[in-house]
Structure formats: C-alpha cells, structure tokens
C-alpha cells in the first residue's frame, strides 16, 4: 500500500505486520499531504476568476483595448484546456511528484511575471504560461490524491474536501480579486499565487514520494497534437462566441475543435500507447461523472459571472462587497460537502448526483425573478444557499466516481479529463450565457438596467435547464452499487477500468 502512494515496490514481499504498518503510514501521509494538494487545486481554480473583477482597472492603467482585454482571461483558459490531457500523461510518465513540484514553481514564476508586467503582451504571455503550468499541476495533484486514497471511507472524505475546492476556489477568486483590486492593486491578483504555490510545493516535496506509471512511457504525439488543437479550438470558439455566433472565429473554431476531437478518438482507438485510453472515458459510471462535471462547470462558472454582474451593475455593489455577498454559497457548499462525504458510503453515488441538480436548478429559477429594483436578501441570498447545497451534492460523488476504478497508471490522464470537462463546460457556459444575455437585453431595449436585468433573467432560466440535465445522466448511467463505491464490497473495484 505504501508503494502505491509513495513509489516503487520494495525488494521483498511485506509480512502481515509490515503491511499493516505500511497501511498506517500511507494513511497518515495521505492526510498530511491532502492540504497541500488541495491548496494547489484551489490556486488553479482561483486563477480562473480572480482577474475578472480586476479587468476594468487593469485595462485603464495599462491602456489595453477592449479586444485585447478579453485575452487576459482567454489566454489562461485556452492554454489550460488545450494541454490538460498532455499534462495528465506527463505526470503519469515523468512522475506525479516531480510534475507537481515543477508546475508549482513554474506557476509561481508565471504569476510573478504577470504581476510585474508593464506591457499588454507581457501580461497575456504570463497568463498563457500560467495556463501551461496549471495544465500540469491540476492533474498531478488529483493523481497524487487518487494514489494516496485508493478506496474506502477515507477516499470519500478526501475527495469531498478536494472536490469542494472547485466551487470554493471560483467563489473566493471573485472575493479576493475584488478585495485586492479595490484596496491594494490588481497586480496582487498575480502576486498572491507566489506564496500559495511555494507552500504547496514545499508540502508535497517533504511529504510525498514519487509515483509514476509502469511499463511503456512512449508519448502518443499524434494524439497530443489533435487533443491540444481540438480542445484549444473549442475554448477559443466558445470564448469568442460572447461577441456573437455568426463570426467564423466562434462557430468556425467550435466546428473545427469538434472535428479534431473526432479524429483524436479515431487515432486513440488505433495507437498502441494512447494519450487517453478510451476505457477511462467510456466506462458508463465514469462517463456519467465526466458529463456531469461538464454541465456543472457551465452552470457554476457561467452562473457566478452573471450573479456578479447583477450584484455590481444592477444592485451597485462595489467589487469587494460583491465578493462578500457571494460567500453564503461557499459556506453552504463546504458544509454540504462535509455532510455528503460522511454519508457517501451509505448513500452511494446516484442519489446525491441526481438530487444536487434539483437544488442547482431551483437556485437558477429563483434568480429568474431578479428585477432592477430588487434586493440582495430577496433576490439573491436564497438562490446562493440553494446553489451551495446543489454543488456540494454534485461535486463530492462526481469527483469520486470520475476516478473510481482507474488503474493507477492512468490516474494522471483521468484526473486531467475531470479538469478538462469542467474547463470546457465553463467556457461553453460563459459563451452561451453571454450570447443569450446580449440577445435578451437587445430585445428588451438596449443598455438600460431593466434590459440588462431581463438578459440576466433569461441566462438564469437557461442555466436551470442545463442543471436539470445532470439528473437523468446520474439516474440512467450510474450503475455502481453502494458497497462497491464505498470500497466495502468483496469485489475489487478495478473491474471498472
């Protein structure tokens, strides 16, 4: 058990006493390493939103045009999404600890460059570098967690903590970005990553030994190129769709991305050492988790964006006040995730995965009642509480299920697929919801507060529809029983792979 987490097998088969001691050692090491692994995931998700509230002031100080401003956000998402699968395979082949440490150091350096940038191209380049290192860091962190907690109740609890970070990081990014921009400087939206990355690096360096895939470590370069171009094209097309689907740089890139990914699947079926072994993605239980992560990412990232638009533009909240206003969702999410984790062996994956989307949809439907003269207590607070409950119910079982039964040699690439699902879902959510909001606002009369609110209301209605789709996916595709899922069954869970 120790060798599964921390490195290669020892020179002799362990005795019963040694095995028990190794199990206790692994368990203790895993729990000590968990805060540092979760911290890295927190940083990666944080950087998807922390710059958003800083954009207006950043643009003014650096003299950036409106068209260039969008690249401050898009560059990170584009590179992150494009290289996630490669990052997962690098962590499997090169070593997960080595990849984690390198990526943490690189992310800190890229953040420092972004904070010191004097020219727009320097800032955008730093964001792209952050995306590259995030594509290495995120799958390495989740792969290390997967190997550290191979099954049982401890795995559920560890994944609950790690999984809730996705929702917490996005919400805290808004809060922290607003605070730093308003009271310090937008540059600290970059500098803040440096101590976080260093702490995570030192923790993993001191607590975790190396783990990597056994056997052949040849890279599937045709798959690498097709996956990077396909995922990158999708993210780029979705990002540009905010300005309308009629342009070639929106629908054209989305279509090209879809075609490239079809070719990628065809290649993966033929090559000897695929970048993405298809059984990782196509097993029905894990497939449900990846689809749910995709849709939940769209609702979470897209929904948070328009919740903050309403708070700041319509209700007139300052950036930091808007961040504070979103805290109830974060607090409720953490509480719900803890409750779900504790009861996950009894509940199984299907029940919370199907129930969570109902709460998410209810939150979005409540938000459709927003008005120009609305109030936070009436229009927003109940929805934020419902959203926190829904996300906590969905993220905990889905993070567990997405990596359940995956061979430890494929832990990195499976972890990358979870992150890629959420990233692409979030990009699609922002693009789709931005287009819907613009069309609805235009039909309602332009840029007045009433028209903007009408656009936001339509966005929340569509977001409710997207959330509802998660429930039938969970009900129809999840077939794993509670005992197998909780690790208490006599049947080895590796049969899912």
Residues in CB range of 172: below 8 A, 6 or more apart: 42, 46, 330
| The pair of three-digit structure tokens given for residue 125, joined into one six-digit string | 């380049």
Nearest to 327 by CA among 189, 163, 165, 168: 168
- For 69-85, letters b (16+ CB in 10 Å) and e give bbbbbbbbbbbbbbbbb
Distance in angstroms (rounded) separating the CA atoms of residues 76 and 339: 33
Given a contact cutoff of 8 angstroms between Cβ atoms, the answer to whether 299 and 430 are in contact is no
Cα four-point dihedral sign 184, 165, 107, 130: negative
**Residue 497: per-residue pLDDT:** 43
What single DSSP character describes residue 448?
A: S
CB proximity list for 283: less than 8 A, separation 6 or greater: 405, 496, 497
Structure token digits, residue 101 = 């440490």
Is 370:309 a contact under the CB 8 Å cutoff?
no
Cα(316)–Cα(310) distance, rounded to whole angstroms? Answer: 8
Q: Which domains are present in the chain? A: 30-209+217-484 (1.20.1250.20)
Quick one: which of 108, 135, 117, 137 has its CA closest to 54?
117
Location of structure tokens 């590179």: 79
Question: Is the distance from CB of 319 to CB of 375 less than 8 angstroms?
Answer: no
> What are the φ/ψ torsions at residue 315 (nearest 5 degrees)?
-85, -10
Task: List the pLDDT tens digit at each of the 497 positions of the chain.
Answer: 333 333 333 333 344 433 344 444 445 678 888 889 988 988 888 887 788 767 777 888 888 876 677 678 778 877 887 888 888 889 888 999 999 999 999 999 999 999 999 888 899 999 999 999 999 998 898 888 888 887 666 776 777 777 667 667 766 777 788 788 888 888 998 999 999 999 999 999 998 888 887 766 788 889 889 988 988 888 788 777 766 666 777 888 889 999 999 999 999 888 888 888 888 888 888 888 889 988 988 888 778 778 888 888 888 887 778 778 888 988 898 888 888 878 877 888 888 999 999 999 999 999 999 999 889 999 999 999 999 999 889 888 887 787 777 777 777 777 778 777 887 788 778 778 888 888 888 888 766 888 889 999 999 999 999 999 999 999 998 888 777 766 544 443 444 44
What are the structure tokens assigned to 439, written together? 């069309």
Q: What is the pLDDT of residues 91-107, one digit of tens each?
A: 888 999 999 999 999 99
Helices (H) and strands (E) in the chain, counts: 21, 0
């Amino acid at each position: 058990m120790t060798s599964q987490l921390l490195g290669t097998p020892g020179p002799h088969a362990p005795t019963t006493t040694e095995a028990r001691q190794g199990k206790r050692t692994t368990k203790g090491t895993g729990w000590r390493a968990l805060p540092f692994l979760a911290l890295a995931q927190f940083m990666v998700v944080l950087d998807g939103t922390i710059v958003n509230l800083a954009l207006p002031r950043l643009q003014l100080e650096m003299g950036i045009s409106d068209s260039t401003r969008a690249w401050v956000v898009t560059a990170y998402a584009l590179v992150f999404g494009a290289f996630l699968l490669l990052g997962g395979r690098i962590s499997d082949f090169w070593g997960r600890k080595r990849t984690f440490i390198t990526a943490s150091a690189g992310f800190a350096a890229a953040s420092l460059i972004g904070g010191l940038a004097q020219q727009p191209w320097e800032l955008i380049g730093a964001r792209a570098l952050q995306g590259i290192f995030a594509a290495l860091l995120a799958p390495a962190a989740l792969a290390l967690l997967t190997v550290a907690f191979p099954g049982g109740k401890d795995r559920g609890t560890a994944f609950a903590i790690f999984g809730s970070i996705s929702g917490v990081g996005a919400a805290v990014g808004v809060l922290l970005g607003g605070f730093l921009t308003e009271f310090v400087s937008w540059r600290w939206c970059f500098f803040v990553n440096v101590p976080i990355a260093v702490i995570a690096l030192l923790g993993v360096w001191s607590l975790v030994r190396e783990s990597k895939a056994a056997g052949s470590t040849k890279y599937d370069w045709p798959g690498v190129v097709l996956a990077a171009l396909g995922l990158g094209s999708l993210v780029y097309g979705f990002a540009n769709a905010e300005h309308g689907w009629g342009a070639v740089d929106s629908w054209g890139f989305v279509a090209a991305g879809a075609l490239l990914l079809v070719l990628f699947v065809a290649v993966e079926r033929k090559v000897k050492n695929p970048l993405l072994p298809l059984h990782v993605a196509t097993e029905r239980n894990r497939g449900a988790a990846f689809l749910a992560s995709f849709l939940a990412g769209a609702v979470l990232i897209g929904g948070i964006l328009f919740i903050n638009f309403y708070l700041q533009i319509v209700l007139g909240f300052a950036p930091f006040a808007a961040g504070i206003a979103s805290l109830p969702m974060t607090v409720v999410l953490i509480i719900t995730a803890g409750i779900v984790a504790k009861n996950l062996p009894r509940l199984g994956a299907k029940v919370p995965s199907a129930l969570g989307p109902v709460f998410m949809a209810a939150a979005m439907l409540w938000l459709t009642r927003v008005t120009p003269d609305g109030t936070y207590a009436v229009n927003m607070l109940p929805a934020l509480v419902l959203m926190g409950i829904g996300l906590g119910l969905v993220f905990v079982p889905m993070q567990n299920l997405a990596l359940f039964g995956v061979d430890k040699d494929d832990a990195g690439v499976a972890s990358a697929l979870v992150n890629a699902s959420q990233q692409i879902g979030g990009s699609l959510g922002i693009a789709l919801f931005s287009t819907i909001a613009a069309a609805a606002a235009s039909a309602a009369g332009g840029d007045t507060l009433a028209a903007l609110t009408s656009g936001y209301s339509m966005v929340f209605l569509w977001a409710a529809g997207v959330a509802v789709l998660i429930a039938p996916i969970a009900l129809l595709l999840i077939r794993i029983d509670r005992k197998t899922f909780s690790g208490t069954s006599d049947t080895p869970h590796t049969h899912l792979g």
